[in-house]
Amino acid sequence: MSRSRHPEVHRSDRAGWLRAAVLGANDGIVSVAGLVVGIAASGASATTILATGIAGTVAGAMSMAAGEYVSVQSQVDTEHADLAVEKRELHEDPHSELEELAAIYRQRGLTPDLAHQVAVQLTAHDALAAHARDELGITEELRARPLQAAMASAGAFICGAALPVLTALLAPHVYVAQVTTAATLVGLGLTGAMAARAGGASPQRGAVRVMFWGALAMAAAALIGQLFDTAH
């Protein structure tokens, strides 16, 4: 009797770029909206508000890309260093490394004989890959990718920042702060829900979580702007 295939969809391979994209989008919305709201609350002109938003978008995107690249590249360097150590140990003391691998499988519930057999076969197939995966936790799906993270973060930042920049451009000058705040909260709710859904979590919880922090950021930005009243 034939069985229908039941393909499983896993989301862990999205972790690298998804984390960078979510961080970039939220940071783009909140930080640039904070600039727009703060400058608008100070009584600055429409041109000044728009210029501030655009400058914040460019600087923020570059900062996010550089920060993500340097951060993830540091993780890559650590992975390479660990793999180099493991490769040297496999060359100098293969017996101890085999026993180390077997011990890992025993701790995971295999019988001693089966753990030893599995360790022997995986070592014969690709010893370094086996130790990278089971001892160091390094897999091909979850390996750090600096350029991917940098591009995802910067691109998402620009997309997120476009929302407050557009409100600064299109909203009536006297209502820029209010319109930007409302649009920001809606945008954060959507990105939070989509990110949570992409990661398999509750969209409602993800939306509320980012909207809460966004509201705090807008309130703080408006307060700071009012302390520097440029209209008088």
pLDDT single digits (tens) 38-49: 999 888 899 999
Task: Report the domain count for the chain.
Answer: 1
Look up the domain containing 178 and give its range: 15-46+148-227
Task: For residue 191, tell me if it sits in a domain.
Answer: yes
Average pLDDT along the chain: 84
Whole-angstrom Cα distance, residue 18 to residue 31? 19
pLDDT, mean of residues 92-113: 91
Q: pLDDT tens, 169-200? A: 999 988 998 999 999 898 888 878 877 776 67
Instruction: State mean pLDDT over 85-111.
Output: 91
Could you tell me if residue 73 is inside a domain? no
Q: What is the pLDDT of residues 118-148, one digit of tens each?
A: 999 999 998 998 998 888 887 776 666 888 8
**Is the pLDDT assigned to residue 9 strictly greater than 90?**
no
Side-chain-side CA neighbours of 20 within 13 Å: the count stands at 26
State yes or no: pLDDT of 16 exceeds 70: no
Confidence of residue 6 (pLDDT cuts 50, 70, 90): very low
Residue 218 lies in a domain: yes
Does the residue 90 lie in any domain?
no
CA distance 120 to 195: 42
Whether residue 215 lies inside any domain: the answer is yes
Residues written for the chain: 232
Structure tokens at 90: 């496999």
Nearest in space to 231 (alpha carbons), one of 20, 72, 54, 39: 39
Indicate whether 10 pLDDT > 60: no
- Within 10 angstroms of residue 108's Cβ, the number of other Cβ atoms is 10
Q: Are 148 and 94 in contact (CB under 8 A)?
A: no
Residue 122 has which token pair? 């995986």
